[in-house]
Amino acid sequence: MSKPDYTIEQSAHAQGYLRVAGVDEVGRGPLAGPVTAAAVVLDPDHIPDGLNDSKKLTAKKRQALLEQLLDHADVSVAHASVAEIDEHNILRASHIAMIRALEGLKNPPDLALIDGNLIPKGLGLPARSVIKGDALSLSIAAASIAAKIRRDQVMWDLAQQFPGYGWESNAGYPTQAHRDALRNLGVTPHHRRSFKPVHNILYQE
């Protein structure tokens, strides 16, 4: 399996885009919690070794990489709330989180590399979509790490307030234990009411 590299960013630099931000989101599939996005502008002279798609790394490795990124890169993480997910839809909410993450960078980027095949509406800066970007671009891989760690922390915190759903380990994804708890314990304020398994419990006959 090939690992992400800096080719896309270098090509953008050659075209005059000096600050290139990788953008990724995590948390589209869960039944509970926010959707979280991160934007990262790497320092070409201080790119941590071992950057990869967050799903291919251990929690310990992700944490070590994030600490290096926070030392040398411009990192911003943002969320879209459960209310925003239910109001818009999960895709639009994930794009809202991406825009917020980009707006949170210390300095505005010249170009955003967006993981996936769609560019968020209203982005307000040049952008390119990169399908499977977290496997191709080091900047997007870095964003995937920052987003996952931050969202996992949010879900761990929520798990302390709402025990029994297993959010500290399933991060709100629809595991069997989470589905069982939803039926047995009910729907919390942090559940996405527009998602079918939650909606069905709320409005069952």
Is 74 annotated as contributing to ligand binding? no
Strands (DSSP E) found in the chain: 20-26, 35-41, 74-80, 111-115, 127-130
Tokens read off for 97:
């989180």
Residues written for the chain: 205
Neighbours of 65 (CB within 10 A): 22
Is 115 annotated as contributing to ligand binding? yes
Is 24 annotated as contributing to ligand binding? yes
Binding-site entries? 24-25, 115
Binding-site entries for a divalent metal cation? 24-25, 115
